[in-house]
C-alpha cells in the first residue's frame, strides 16, 4: 500500500476544509498506514491546572485517524467517524504538546479502523489511548 | 438518592472552575441521577456544512456525566474521566443546539458510569450515543 | 417501522443457524426496534462464586442487538458485529438469569447501532451496559 | 517493573481458579507488561462457516489483559473487568487458533488498562482489536 497524499498535501487539505482546527495540528511524520500528529497545545485546550482537556485529546485522535485514512485513499469524498473509544490513563504534562502515534489497522472498502497512543512531550508513558472507526463513502 | 447541588449551583461551579467551556452549556433539567444538558452551538463547534463536530459532542457527553455526578456527590474533589465510548449515528441538524439526555447508571465509591443520548433540536432520532466512566477521588 | 419476523421465527432462525448458542437465550419480548432477551444461566456461563462471566454478558448483548436487527430487516444476509463497548457495573446475582433490554438506536442502510442494559433477575440496578454496531450486507 | 509470576504459575492459577476456561488458553510468551495468549480453537468457539465467534475473541482479550495484570501484581485479590471495547476487523481464518498480543498500558494503584491485537495463525493482518480496564482491589 502506498501513500496518495504527502504530508504537505494533507496539511493544505486541512487548512482549506477545516480552517477552524487546522492550526491546532502539525504532522510530525507520515508513512503508509501511519501518522504522528501533534496537538500544538494552546490556552483553549487546557483545563485548570494547565493539563490538556479530554475533548482536545479526543479531537487529536479523531483527526490523526482521519488524516491517516485520507493519506491512503486521497482527498475524495467525506469520511465520517462512526465510533470511537478512548482511555485516559495519565495526567498530561503541564503545557506540553501532545503527540498521537496512529496506525491504521484496517482500510476496507466501507470502513477504516485506526488506533492511537498519545504522549505528552517528555513523558515515556502514554497519557491516553483511542480507537476510531471511519465510514468511507462510495468512491 | 438525593441531589446535593441545584442546577444553579452546578452552573456557578462550572463558571468558576471551567470558565473556558462554561458558556458552551446550559442545564435544561436536573433530577437525581439525571441531567439534560444543552450545547449552545456556536461557530467554534461547527464543521463545514454547518454540522456540529464530533469532539464537540464528545465534550457535551463528558460534561453531562460529570455534572450529573457532581450533583449527587457535591463539589468536592476532582473526578476525572477514565474512559469513554461514543457512536455517531446521524448528521446533526444544521445550526441547531444539541441536547444530551444523561442518566447515571452507577454511582459507586470509586467509579461512576453514565450514558447519554444526544439530539438535535427538532429531530426525533438521536444523533449520537455515548457512555463514560469517571474515577471519583477518595472523599 | 414494522417487524419482519416474529419472536418464534427469530427463535427458529437461531436454532437453525446458531445451534451452539440458541439454547442459551430466550426472547421475553419483541417490538419494533426493541427486544428483551434472556440469558438462561447455566454452569458454563459462571465464574467462581456463581456470578455470570463477562464474556457471557458480552454474548448476550451481541445476540440481543443482532436479533433486534434481524427482526426489522428479515433473515436475509449475514450481519456482522464490527464494534462493541461494554461496562460491567455490578456483580450479577448468584445463579440468576440475566435479562438484556435492547433498543436499536439506528437502522441504516449499511450500519445498525443498538444499546442494551442488562439486569439480574430480582435486581433493580443494571449489572452491565453495552452498545454494538452491526454491518449489514448489501441486500 | 518485574514479573511476580511465571507463565507456569499463571497457567496453574488459571486451572485452579477458572477451570471452566483454563483449557481454552495457552501462554505463548510472557514478559513484564506483555503477554501473548493463544485461544486453542475448538468446536464451541465457532460460528457457522468455521470462524471464531466474537464473544470467544472478547473472552481471549479479557483473559490476556487479566493475566498480564496478575503477572505483575501477583495472584492476590480479585481484579474485575470494568470496561471493554472491541473492534472486529476481519474474518478469522477457518479453524485456526487466535493469538492475542497484549500490552499493559497502565498499571495503577486501582486501575489497569491493556490493549490487544488478535491474529489468526497464518494471517498477517489483525482480525480484531480490544482494550479493557481492570479494577484492582485494595491490597
Give one DSSP letter per residue of A71-119, joined into a string: HHH-S-S--EEEEEEEEE-SPPPTT--EEEEEEEEEE-SSEEEEEEEEE
> What is the average per-residue pLDDT within C29-33?
98
The band of C76, judged by pLDDT with boundaries at 50, 70 and 90, is confident
Residue A2 forms part of a structural domain: no
C-beta separation of B121 from B97 below 8 A: yes
Residue B125 forms part of a structural domain: yes
Residue A1 forms part of a structural domain: no
Residue A118 forms part of a structural domain: yes
Chain pair A-D, CB pairs under 8 angstroms: 42
Contacts of A112 (CB under 8 A, 6+ apart): A65, A69, A79, A104, A106, A133, A134, A136
C-beta separation of D70 from D10 below 8 A: yes
Indicate the range of A2-6, A81-85, C44-48, D83-87 predicted with least confidence. Answer: C44-48
Report the C-alpha gap between D37 and D63 in whole angstroms: 8
Indicate the range of B131-135, C44-48, D90-94 predicted with least confidence. Answer: C44-48
Question: What is the ipTM for the molecules in this complex?
Answer: 0.94
Please give, rounded to a whole number of angstroms, the shortest distance from the CA of A112 to a CA of chain B: 15
- Does residue C18 belong to the interface with chain D, where contact is any CB pair within 8 Å? yes
A34-39 and A98-107 strand pairing: antiparallel
- Does residue D105 belong to the interface with chain C, where contact is any CB pair within 8 Å? no
Contact A82 C110 (CB under 8 A): no
3-state DSSP percent of chain A in helix, strand and coil, to 5:
25, 35, 35
Contact D129 A117 (CB under 8 A): no
Which residues in D26-46 are b (16+ Cβ under 10 Å) and which e?
ebeebeebbbbbbbebeeebb
Chain D partners of A117 at a C-beta cutoff of 8 Å? 105
> What is the average per-residue pLDDT within C42-57?
88
Contacts of C71 (CB under 8 A, 6+ apart): C3, C4, C5, C10, C30, C32, C35
Report the C-alpha gap between C106 and C112 in whole angstroms: 5
Q: Which of D30, D45, D47 is nearest to D100 (CA)?
A: D30
Place of cell 466512566: B133
Residue A63 forms part of a structural domain: yes
- Does residue A87 belong to the interface with chain B, where contact is any CB pair within 8 Å? yes
pLDDT beyond 70 at C139 = no
**Is residue C63 within a helix (H) or strand (E), and if so which, with residue range?**
helix C54-73
User: For residue C57, what is the nearest residue in chain D, using CA coordinates?
Assistant: D55
Mutate which of C58, C59, C87 to test chain D, going by most D C-beta atoms within 10 A?
A: C58
The band of B113, judged by pLDDT with boundaries at 50, 70 and 90, is very high
Indicate the range of A53-57, D24-28, D86-90, D91-95 predicted with least confidence. Answer: D91-95
Chain A partners of C110 at a C-beta cutoff of 8 Å? 110, 135
Report the C-alpha gap between D61 and D78 in whole angstroms: 18
* Helices (H), ranges, chain B: 7-17, 19-22, 54-73
Residue D50 forms part of a structural domain: yes
User: For residue D128, what is the nearest residue in chain A, using CA coordinates?
Assistant: A105
Residue C130 forms part of a structural domain: yes
> What is the average per-residue pLDDT within C32-61?
92
Please give, rounded to a whole number of angstroms, the shortest distance from the CA of A89 to a CA of chain D: 7
Indicate the range of B97-106, C115-124, D11-20 predicted with least confidence. Answer: D11-20
| Nearest Cβ partner for C54 among D56, D62, D89 | D62
> What is the average per-residue pLDDT within C50-71?
95
Residue B2 forms part of a structural domain: no
For residue B120, the domain's CATH number is: 3.10.129.10
- Does residue B81 belong to the interface with chain D, where contact is any CB pair within 8 Å? no
Percent of chain B with pLDDT over 90: 78
Which residues form the domain of D92? Answer: 7-135
Report the C-alpha gap between C12 and C19 in whole angstroms: 10
- How many domains does chain D contain in total? 1
Amino acid at each position: 500500500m502506498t501513500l496518495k497524499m504527502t504530508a504537505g498535501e494533507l496539511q493544505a487539505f486541512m487548512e482549506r476544509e477545516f480552517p477552524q482546527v487546522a492550526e491546532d495540528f502539525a504532522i510530525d511524520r507520515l508513512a503508509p498506514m501511519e501518522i504522528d500528529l501533534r496537538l500544538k497545545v494552546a490556552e483553549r485546550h487546557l483545563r485548570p491546572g494547565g493539563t490538556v482537556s479530554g475533548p482536545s485529546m479526543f479531537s487529536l485522535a479523531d483527526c490523526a485517524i482521519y488524516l491517516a485514512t485520507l493519506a491512503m485513499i486521497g482527498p475524495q469524498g467525506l469520511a465520517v467517524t462512526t465510533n470511537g473509544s478512548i482511555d485516559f490513563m495519565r495526567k498530561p504534562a503541564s503545557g506540553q504538546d501532545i503527540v498521537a502515534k496512529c496506525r491504521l489497522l484496517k482500510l476496507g472498502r466501507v470502513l477504516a479502523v485506526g488506533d492511537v497512543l498519545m504522549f505528552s512531550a517528555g513523558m515515556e508513558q502514554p497519557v491516553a489511548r483511542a480507537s476510531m472507526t471511519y465510514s468511507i463513502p462510495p468512491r
